[in-house]
Structure 1
C-alpha cells in the first residue's frame, strides 16, 4: 500500500490533533482516525507505524510550532533581557490564541506518557528528547542575558518564569489568555527577575 503524501500526512495529523482536543487522547484510535479522515487503516499504519507513534508525531509537530513562536517572540522582544524573558513566558498565551488546537493538544497529551510507552521508534524518541536540549539552551541564554550567569540556580529562576508561572497563571486553570491575565503574568515575571538568584552551589 502506498505511503500517503506529505501533505496528506499533515492532514491526518490535523484530524488526529482535533480528535484528541475534542474528545480526549483515548479517542484517537487508528480505526476512528480512518473513519474520520477517510483513509484506510493500512495507510495510517504504513505512515506512522502505531497509534502511539502517530500521537508522538503530532505532539512533536505542535511542540516545534510552539518553540518556533517562542524563539521568534524572544528574538523580537524590545526593552532588554528582562523583556525577552517576559516574551518567552507569554509565548504559551500567544500560542493558544494563534494555534489553539495545537496548544490544547500539547496540554491534553503528556510527552512523558509517549516516551514511556516504549512503542515509538528511537529516532522519533530522540527528536522528542532534543526539545529538552533546545529549551535548556534557551533558559541558559536568557539566564546569561539577565544575570550574567548560567549556573543551576540562575537558570532555575528563568525556568520558573518561562514554565512554572505560565502554567500556574494560565495553563493549569485553563483560563482564556486575555490581556489582564497576560499582564499579571508579565508583572510576576518582572518581579521574580528583580530578585537576585541564590549563589551558585
Structure 2
C-alpha cells in the first residue's frame, strides 16, 4: 500500500521551522516541535524531508539564496558607488520584508544547521552560493577600486555587508524592524568606508 501523502507543502513545513527558530533558536526546531506547530503528526514531516538535518539545511539554503538574489540585483547599478550603496541598503530593507528569514541568515551560522551532514545536492548548492557571493564581491571590488586584491575585497565586504549587518543585528535580536534612520547611518558609513579605502590603499610592493 502506498504511504499517505503529506497534506503540508514543503513551504509550509519550512515556514513553521523558521518561526520556531526565530522565536526559540535552532535547537528548538525539532521534528516533533515543527509537526506540533503545524498541527500534524511527526511522521508527516518525513514525507517531505528525510531528516531534521535536511529540513534545516534546506531552510538555511533557501533564506541565503533569497538574500543573495536581492543583494546581487542591488549591485546591478551602472555606477559602482550607487551599486555599493544600494547593496548595503538592501540589508535593512530585506530585514523589514522578511524578519524571520533575516534572523536565520544574519543571526545564525551555517554550522548550526548542520548535524550529521547534508545530502550531496545541498552541499553543491551551498558551494554554489559561496562561489556566487565571491564572484559578485570580486566584480564590485574591481568596479569600485579599479583592481581586486584580498585587502580591497575585505574593504568592500566591510562596506556593503559588515556595516549593514552591524546596523540591523540589535534590532533583529529585539524582534523589531530597523528604524528608517538605520538606512541613513548605513549609507553614511558605507560611503565613508569606501572613501577611506580609496584615500589610504596602496598597491602591495612586488618582490
> TM-score, normalized by length of structure 1?
0.87
- 8 A Cα contact 2:87 2:160, kept in partner: yes
Give the distance between the partners of 2:100 and 2:111, measured in 1 at CA: 20
1-structure distance, mates of 2:62, 2:150? 29
Flag structure 2 segments of 5+ consecutive residues without an equivalent.
Answer: none
Match for residue 74 of structure 1? 75
- Kindly indicate whether residue 23 of structure 2 is the aligned counterpart of residue 22 of structure 1: yes
Label 1:136 to 1:104 Cα distance change in 2 as closer, same or farther (>3 A).
same
**Shift in Å, 1:159:** 0.9
Q: Deviations over 1:146-185 (max 9, x none)?
A: 1111221221111111222122222256474222121111
Q: Which runs of 5+ in 1 are unaligned?
A: none
- Residue of structure 2 in register with 1:183 after alignment: 184
Q: Which moved more, 1:98-107 or 1:41-50?
A: 41-50
Q: Which protein has the larger Cα radius of gyration, Structure 1 or Structure 2? A: 2
Note if contact 1:21-1:108 (Cα within 8 Å) is conserved in structure 2: no
Q: Find the counterpart in structure 2 of residue 153 from structure 1.
A: 151
Aligned-pair Cα RMSD in Å: 2.2
Establish whether residue 114 from structure 1 lines up as the match of residue 118 from structure 2: no
Local SS of the residue matching 1:43: helix
| DSSP-derived class of the 1:65 partner | helix
Q: Map of 1:21-60 to 2, 5 A cutoff? A: 21-60=22-61
Query: For 2:64 and 2:5, how far apart are their aligned partners in 1?
Result: 24
Give me the whole-angstrom Cα distance separating, in 2, the residues matched to 1:22 and 1:113: 15
Matches of 2:154 and 2:6 in 1, distance apart?
43
CA distance in 2: counterparts of 1:88 and 1:107, whole angstroms:
15
Task: Supply the distance in 2 between the matched residues of 1:43 and 1:105 (Cα, whole angstroms).
Answer: 24
Q: Where does residue 193 of structure 1 map in the other structure?
A: 194
1:60-88 C-alpha deviation (Å, 9 max, x unpaired): 1111111111122222x47x211211111
Structure 1 runs (4+) greater than 3 angstroms displaced: 2-5, 172-176
Question: SS where residue 118 of structure 2 aligns?
Answer: coil
Distance 2:5 2:193 in 1: 50
- CA shift at 1:200, angstroms? 4.0
Structure 2 SS opposite 1:178: coil
What does the per-residue CA deviation read over 1:76-130, in whole Å, with 9 as the maximum and x for residues that have no partner? Answer: x47x211211111122201111112211222343213334x33321221221222
> TM-score, normalising length from structure 2?
0.85
